[in-house]
Amino acid sequence: MARTRTTKKLAQRIDLNYFKRPTPLKRAKFWLSLLLPLLGLLWIAERTFFKDSRVYSSGRLSEPHAILEKQCDLCHARTAGEFSAGASIFGCLNCHDGPVHHSVDLSENDCVSCHSEHRGRINISATSNASCAQCHSDLRAHRGRSDYANQIQSFESRHPEFAALRPVGGVAARDPGTIKLNHAMHMKPLRTGATGSEVQLSCGNCHAPNAAPRPVTYSDARYVSASVSYLDNSGPGSSSPDTPVERHPPSGWELMAPVKFANACAACHLLTFDKRFDYGAPHDKPEVVHAFLTRAFREYIAAHPSEVRVQREPRRDLTGKPLPPAVRVLTSAQWVTERTAEAEDLLWRKTCKQCHTLTPSRRTSHRKIELPVNQGSNTDKLSSIPAELPDVAPANTTLRWMPHAKFDHGAHDGFTCVSCHAKALISAESSDVLLPGIETCKTCHAPGPEHAESRCFECHTYHDWSKRKEVTPKFTMPLPTGNR
Amino acid sequence: MAATLTPPGMIDITLDGRSVRVPADTTVFDAARMNGITIPTLCHLQNQTPVGVCRLCVVDTGARVLAASCVRPVEPGMKVVTNSEKVLGARKTLLELMMSDHPSPCARQQNSGDCELETLAKAAGASQPRFAKRTVARGKDDSSLAIAVDHDACILCDRCIRGCDEVKSNFVLGRMGKSYSAGIAFDLNSPMGDSTCVSCGECMVSCPTGALTNKSVVGTAIVVGPGAQGFEAEDLLQIPVFKGVSGTFLELNRGAIVKRRFRKGDVICREGEFGSTAFYILEGKAKVSISTPIAHVKTQGGAKGLFKRLSSTLVAREEDKREEEVRDRTIPIDASVDLAYGNPVAELGPGDLFGEMTCMNFYPRSAAVIAESDVVAFEMLRNVLDIMLKNKTFRGQLDQTYRRRALENHLRGVPMFADLSPDFIEHLKESVELQRFAPGQTIALQGDPADSFYLVRIGFVKISENYPGGEMVLAYLSRGDYFGEIGLLGGGVRTAACTALDHVELVRISGEDFRDMVARFPSVRTGLEAVAAERRAANQQRMQMVHNVPIDQFLWQGLMEAQSLLILDLQNCTRCDACVNACADAHDGITRLIRDGLRFDQYLVATSCRQCRDPLCMVGCPVGSIRRRNSLEVIIEDWCIGCGLCAQNCPYGNINLHPFEVMVDDPERAGRKKPAIKQKATSCDLCTHLKEPSCVYACPHDAAHRVDPRTFFAEMLGQGPAK
Amino acid sequence: MRMDKTQRGWALLTLAILAISAVVYVLYAFESPQGPRGGSTIGLIFGVAGFSFMIFAALLGARKRVPTWRVGRAQAWMRGHLWLGFLALPIILFHGGFHFGGTLTRVLMWLLLITVFSGVFGAALQHYIPRVMTSDVPLETIYDEIGSVRALLRGEADRVVESVCGSLGLNKTSGEDGQRAGGFTALRTIAASAVLLRSTAAVSAGASAAVAAAPEIILLSEGESAPLRRFYLNDMRPFLERPKQRGQRLGDTDKARAVFSGLRTLLPAGAHVTLTDLEDICDEARQLTRQERLHHWLHGWLLLHVPLSLALILLGAIHAVVALRY
């Protein structure tokens, strides 16, 4: 072939300085390498020029802080002489008070150890389980009290059953309440009732959240409007000393209001004491009832003097006891005492005792009874009451079963009551704790987007807002600047 | 018919019907000549003994056969016819026969149109011979610088032989061979250039045809102008060195020599220039120097940072000596003196000849010569130089100059001889012999008895070894190198053939002196032995290789010749040019590597010095700046004068010339320096100052390697024929 | 760079670092109450490590500018660049806890992603394309010089055709700009009769052919050479001038072969050598086009990779300063 290739011939085709000349490829690379970083710089410079530090932000601020997004220096305060201008606790404390947790002073914990900012439009108060678990996964090591479960990692992991349901000393948990109530029976159709011959009660007939209107179906207006002299008590745990107080006042929809006789029971459970009267005894302390009865009979005999002649009912002579004379004529006082005793006997032994736990009084009858002022128009001084009045055990209704956690019935109103409180249908004893167990919660509250929130903060709170202090606001809205 | 009395000593004859009286013993030829009759001849010349070989001068004397007039004496009453039909026919046939053997037009006919044979043949109408042409050529001899020999044109008239023997008494020419292969011969049939011929030109002047012609130097004639005075042949003949030269010959070469006058400070010649003349100083003094600053082209690695500068950093020699540099080293130049390393300036005086190598071998000038005082010098082309050098007187004079001025330096320039005592040097000065060899001439044959030790004074010597099926070049030796020690120290037999590559002059130290020297100076012996052992080992290795490597593309690409190849593994190479950039960065922005070339297997053999075993580039360097280190790499020393011969010679295109900015003496303001652009040859130096070749070091893809091809490709070659 | 056995060390090292940091990250991500954050100690360590990997990778560019500095072989740098540069991505993802964060960090993250993936893509290209180029383009030359080599080819083709067809009246490319390699500049005024060196090397290297032998001139008559002349002016010259234009017969190997065998039947045998040469020239021109295309693949991705990485380093540094500050 005529065309031969030799090293020398090949080399002679090449310009010795070719590598110094740019090719389009090299030139493009050079200019792009210049241009792109320059663009980057320009961008930064432009942002800096417009005093927009948002570019440096490591993420968007949380929802409530969104307004601060352009004002980095509110948190990132610069201290003279220091390089770093990291956000510190002082930035938070400008606006916020962060009362300490429980009794344990955890002040060494910075706000950011739980509330991390620049994470996007998140709920900054929704702290991670791990924030709690820093201490609660090993509480002992953190000077915690030993009476709490001390190895909780999360709701799913090692969270104990609710305290109210936990057996104490081998004995199953009991409702400390003293009102005798057979939930199961109340949930069955009842043959008699205020509203008809056969009624079916629903939970709402008795139970309603605090903020809801009192149930009326089974209420009695007289009792509702009447004032009582006894005090509503709340069950144990409702005022535990180290229960942090919620920051926001309760809406009233969270917990159920205590079930009141006037609202829920009065329609069926009549406090009738004598057939002469079409009204019942007041739902009050025995002393008040006694006074009421005495007065009622006294007024009655005054109005019907003929009634002092008492005719024994023959039907009732079934005991073989020596019968009193068939017709007796009593003094009005005698009559009043007799009738009162009779009515009280009925009440104490039957009507009241059906629900309340009465114990014979060890007290003297010389108790000073103070009737409600507005009721005592004709207050008599009953210095000596012959009858022995019983003591009514306090109801001990537990209004808040979980003293360290918040629960909102309102948030759960999509459910029927019994879907959680299933035991209400079968509970015959008032000592049964009808609080649903943790497993019930866990059916919905579990990690993952398809489940309801299950992180600690959902039920528990950290800051004890009872210890809150007033913070003087230092933050002013930035003046609107132009179109920006 | 009046029979007049013939005076004694005279003879009467009839010449073409005319009665003439001629002296006795006159030849018929001369008789005719005296009487105005021209008899054509080829072999006869007036100043030579007639021999009658061409037979062209035949005349009819009435005898049975025609007689050659040049050798036939007249006889009384002889009737001579010179132009009868018969005679003319015989001459025509002779001319036809000769013309059938003659390359028409021959060299003489071409040059000057005066080939005697062709002129005669034309006149006789015999230009187109009836006879078949000669089928076998007798050959040409181009070895002489002054005279071209074309045996084909020779008609065996012997005029040259007689000119040489009778006229000049040189006794060089003679006859050789028989019948069809007969011809003239120099000495014992040596090439003319190698023979004892003194280039007097007599033979050439005598030759009737184009067999011996004057060689003028093609395309070059010395311009005669102011300061350059031409010569007439007579003037030249007055000069002692031209004694004994044929005047005609000198006449022919008139344009080839001028006498020049230089004023003080004039530049006689510049280094690096190409020239074709030599100078012979008649009067005055001249300074010879290398004006290219002798300094390392130094690269401070990457210290120069990101910005490559084209200009180089030159560091003065004094500050920075390379290893292997010896104090006594000299730079060989094209004159009877060598230049010292540190101070490359020397002086030339009357009787000095310089520019010999340039003139003879067309090498570039090795140094600049500047007139120190007013200088008168001959400037001559190589035919005249040859004439001069062949002159015994002149040779003697040159020898003397050399012995006096350069031999000691030359000997001491060989590191091993540095210890010789002055008295021994004196002895050597007298006893050494200067020998000249023409291109291609064998200095010693492999297997010859070793009887001498040689130092190369001028030119290049090829050392080669014959092996079955070829010849392997072991080395090229140039000025300052020596050879012959292996034979002398070893078995007494030459282990390799030594051949002159060009016009070579050697300093011969006889075996006796050599042995004496070795005995007296043990350091010389140890040094020589070490080198000899090294050479032997290297040679052995090369021979080994010859036997092992298959002859194929590997050979074709010359890879076997290489000691070190820069190869790029094309399967790894991303063509990013990092190697080229690294090379440029390591060498002042000039790359010594071109990422193009032929492929071998999956490797690209990049264009970068291969450190050939047979470094052609070194041949011809006028200043010996391209040389081999002891470690065998080929490097270009700093006194490169930028002639570009090495670049031209490199078969692989691995040497390039680059302009460097250097400081040179300002001619206008003495003592000041000014920047100037000087060319310097560059080739890969393996980055010796950086430990590892930068290209290899900088290759990010593990593609570039510097390898010894034999070991690297050994497996591949062993496995079978490569692609 | 080929991905071969020699990379095993780096690959193992990379895997080891990746595994260790992944383990550290997982532990840390679960341990820390706030989840993984760039500002925490471990996050910072990740960030610093990732950024130093990036800087190291970027330093390769600087290293290439000082090839003679003895600061470690370029090969080692390249490997470091490949593996550590790749490692920068997971480490930085660990640093950011797989969040992209705010504007600047989001930009940075995307820059890093594009840079790393363009780098991986480039590494893959540089793994395969050299082989393709080696097998497809045996006559390759230096990319930068393709233009001038083409011009030389054109000149050569002109000469070859004109030696057969006589003058075509084409412009002769006037040529020698710049300093050519291969000892080209050495061809100065060396006398014509200078000693011509011959040696085994010179012969074996085809050195005698280094000076192009003048093609034997067999001038054809006008009529005979017409097909060649027409072909050359209409097809081949345009192809040599604009080899990248589409739809040229000579641009396709098979079509070109057909064209030339057609021409062989049209031209006398004396011109067949010329045709072989022309075919050869076309082949070379075609290969150069292919080389160009491959070269663009081989180095085109750098247009993305390098500028982006520089921007990445610059903005990364700004991010580092600002983030350490705030």
Question: Chain A residue with minimal CA distance to B307?
Answer: A20
Which residue, among A19, A31, A36, A152, would best test binding to C if mutated, counting the most C CBs under 10 Å from its CB?
A36
pLDDT for C201 equals 34
- pLDDT tens by residue, B511-540: 888 888 888 888 778 877 887 787 777 777
Q: In this complex, do B473 and C70 lie within 8 Å of one another by their Cβ atoms?
A: no
- pLDDT tens by residue, B288-313: 887 655 554 444 433 333 333 333 44
Is the same domain home to B649 and B541?
no
Q: In this complex, do A12 and B653 lie within 8 Å of one another by their Cβ atoms?
A: yes
Most confident stretch, A31-40, B180-189, B491-500: A31-40
Intra-chain end-to-end CA distance of chain C, in Å? 42
Is pLDDT larger for residue A251 or for residue A46?
A: A46
Q: What is the mean pLDDT of chain B?
A: 77
Chain A window 291-320: which residues touch C at a Cβ cutoff of 8 Å?
Answer: none
Q: Stretch B149-167: mean pLDDT, rounded?
A: 89
Out of B558, B584, B597, name the one closest to residue A10 (CB): B597
pLDDT for B226 equals 58
Is pLDDT larger for residue A450 or for residue C168?
A: A450
Preceding peptide of B693 cis, ω within 30°: no
Instruction: Answer yes or no: is A373 within a domain.
Output: yes
Q: Stretch B564-578: mean pLDDT, rounded?
A: 88
Q: In this complex, do A19 and B577 lie within 8 Å of one another by their Cβ atoms?
A: yes
Closest residue by Cα to residue B338 from B315, B317, B319, B354: B354
Q: What is the mean pLDDT of chain A?
A: 79
Q: Stretch A68-97: mean pLDDT, rounded?
A: 76
Question: Chain B residue with minimal CA distance to C73?
Answer: B697
Into how many domains does chain A fold? Answer: 2
- pLDDT tens by residue, A237-280: 445 556 667 777 778 888 888 888 888 888 888 888 888 888 88
pLDDT band of residue A13 (cuts 50, 70, 90) is confident
Is the same domain home to B431 and B539?
yes
Is the same domain home to B559 and B704?
yes
3-state secondary structure at position C125: helix
- pLDDT tens by residue, B320-376: 444 444 444 567 677 767 676 666 778 888 878 888 777 776 667 778 888 888 888
3-state secondary structure at position B500: strand
* Reported ipTM: 0.86
Residue A261: its H or E element: none
pLDDT for C50 equals 92
Is pLDDT larger for residue C236 or for residue B628?
A: C236
Q: Which of B417-426, B625-634, B697-706 is the least confident region?
A: B625-634
Position B493 pLDDT exceeds 90: no
Out of C142, C148, C207, name the one closest to residue A8 (CB): C207
- CA atoms of B439 and B122, how far apart (whole Å): 39
Q: In this complex, do B574 and C129 lie within 8 Å of one another by their Cβ atoms?
A: yes
Question: Chain A residue with minimal CA distance to C150?
Answer: A13
Is the same domain home to B599 and B687?
yes
Q: What is the β-pairing status of strands B173-176 and B183-186?
A: antiparallel
Position B484 pLDDT exceeds 90: no
3-state secondary structure at position B180: helix
Which residue's entry shows tokens 């082209």? B297
Out of A10, A83, A130, name the one closest to residue C33 (CB): A130
Is the same domain home to B710 and B579?
yes
Out of A15, A23, A86, name the one closest to residue C178 (CB): A15
pLDDT for A379 equals 40
Is the same domain home to B581 and B453?
no
How many A×B Cβ pairs under 8 Å? 48
Q: In this complex, do B571 and C134 lie within 8 Å of one another by their Cβ atoms?
A: yes
- Is the CB of residue B11 less than 8 Å from the CB of residue B23? yes
pLDDT for C196 equals 37
Instruction: Answer yes or no: is A241 within a domain.
Output: no
pLDDT band of residue C81 (cuts 50, 70, 90) is very high
pLDDT band of residue A367 (cuts 50, 70, 90) is very low
Q: Stretch C198-206: mean pLDDT, rounded?
A: 34
Chain C window 126-145: which residues touch A at a Cβ cutoff of 8 Å?
Answer: 139, 141-145
Which residue, among C79, C195, C203, would best test binding to B if mutated, counting the most B CBs under 10 Å from its CB?
C195
Buried-state track C283-317, b at ≥16 Cβ within 10 A, e below 16: bbbbbbbbbbebbebbbbbbbbbbbbbbbbbbbbe
* Domain hosting residue B157, numbered range: 107-133+140-214
Which of B214, B247, B280 terminates a domain? The answer is B214
Q: Which residues are CB-neighbours of A92 under 8 A, at least 6 positions away? A: A75, A98, A111, A112, A115
Q: Stretch C103-113: mean pLDDT, rounded?
A: 90
CA distance to partner chain B, nearest, from residue A19 (Å): 7
Is pLDDT larger for residue B249 or for residue A221?
A: A221
CATH of the domain at B129: 3.30.70.20
Is pLDDT larger for residue B678 or for residue A447?
A: A447
Which of B492, B513, B547 terminates a domain? The answer is B547
- pLDDT tens by residue, B409-436: 777 767 677 777 778 888 887 788 888 7
Q: Which residues are CB-neighbours of B256 under 8 A, at least 6 positions away? A: B216, B217, B221, B222, B380, B381, B383, B384
pLDDT for B319 equals 42
Which residue, among C142, C144, C176, C282, would best test binding to A if mutated, counting the most A CBs under 10 Å from its CB?
C144
Q: In this complex, do C102 and A60 lie within 8 Å of one another by their Cβ atoms?
A: yes
- pLDDT tens by residue, B438-483: 777 888 888 888 888 888 877 778 887 776 656 667 777 777 778 8
Question: Chain A residue with minimal CA distance to B553?
Answer: A6
Instruction: Quote the pTM value.
Output: 0.65
Is the same domain home to B483 and B608?
no
Is the same domain home to B27 and B113?
no
* Domain hosting residue A386, numbered range: 286-313+325-353+358-392
Q: Which of A386-400, A422-436, B666-680, C240-254 is the least confident region?
A: B666-680
Instruction: Answer yes or no: is B584 within a domain.
Output: yes
Rounded to 5 degrees, what angle do the CA atoms B357, B361, B363 make? 70
Chain C window 145-174: which residues touch A at a Cβ cutoff of 8 Å?
Answer: 145, 148-149, 152
pLDDT for C186 equals 44
Instruction: Answer yes or no: is B55 within a domain.
Output: yes
Is the same domain home to B152 and B75?
no
Position C172 pLDDT exceeds 70: no
Is pLDDT larger for residue B595 or for residue A77?
A: B595
Is the same domain home to B557 and B706?
yes
Q: In this complex, do C65 and B594 lie within 8 Å of one another by their Cβ atoms?
A: no
Q: In this complex, do B644 and C199 lie within 8 Å of one another by their Cβ atoms?
A: no
- Write the DSSP symbol of residue B130: S
pLDDT for B642 equals 77
- pLDDT tens by residue, B77-115: 888 888 888 899 999 999 998 888 888 788 888 878 888
Closest residue by Cα to residue C279 from C148, C136, C153: C153
Among the residues of A2-100, which ranges form H helices?
7-12, 24-49, 89-93
pLDDT for B313 equals 44
Q: Which chains touch C (3 or more CB pairs under 8 A)?
A: A, B
Among the residues of C166-204, which ranges form H helices?
200-204
- CA atoms of B462 and B499, how far apart (whole Å): 5
pLDDT for C198 equals 36
Position C114 pLDDT exceeds 90: yes
Question: Chain B residue with minimal CA distance to C132?
Answer: B571
- CA atoms of B375 and B265, how far apart (whole Å): 10
Q: Which residues are CB-neighbours of C121 under 8 A, at least 6 positions away? A: C301
Q: What is the mean pLDDT of chain C?
A: 81
Out of B362, B646, B694, name the one closest to residue C195 (CB): B362
Position C189 pLDDT exceeds 80: no
- pLDDT tens by residue, A24-38: 888 999 999 999 999
Out of A2, A16, A130, name the one closest to residue C215 (CB): A2
Chain B residues closer than 8 Å to A8 by CB: 650-653
Chain A window 4-43: which residues touch C at a Cβ cutoff of 8 Å?
Answer: 4-19, 21, 23, 25, 28-29, 32-33, 35-37, 39-41
Instruction: Answer yes or no: is B256 within a domain.
Output: no
pLDDT band of residue C116 (cuts 50, 70, 90) is very high
Most confident stretch, A175-189, B537-551, B673-687: A175-189
- CA atoms of B345 and B364, how far apart (whole Å): 18
- pLDDT tens by residue, B197-249: 887 888 888 899 888 888 765 545 565 555 666 666 677 777 776 777 777 77
Q: Which chains touch B (3 or more CB pairs under 8 A)?
A: A, C
CATH of the domain at B518: 2.60.120.10
Q: In this complex, do C310 and A72 lie within 8 Å of one another by their Cβ atoms?
A: no
Q: In this complex, do B616 and C199 lie within 8 Å of one another by their Cβ atoms?
A: yes
- pLDDT tens by residue, B380-391: 877 777 777 777
pLDDT for A103 equals 57
pLDDT for C83 equals 92
**C302 at A interface, C-beta within 8 A:** yes
Buried-state track C256-282, b at ≥16 Cβ within 10 A, e below 16: beebbeebeeebeeebebbbbbbbbbb
Which of A341, A367, A392 terminates a domain? The answer is A392
Position B317 pLDDT exceeds 90: no
Is the same domain home to B684 and B711?
yes
Is the same domain home to B558 and B499?
no
Q: In this complex, do B591 and A16 lie within 8 Å of one another by their Cβ atoms?
A: yes
- CA atoms of B408 and B405, how far apart (whole Å): 7
Into how many domains does chain B fold? Answer: 4
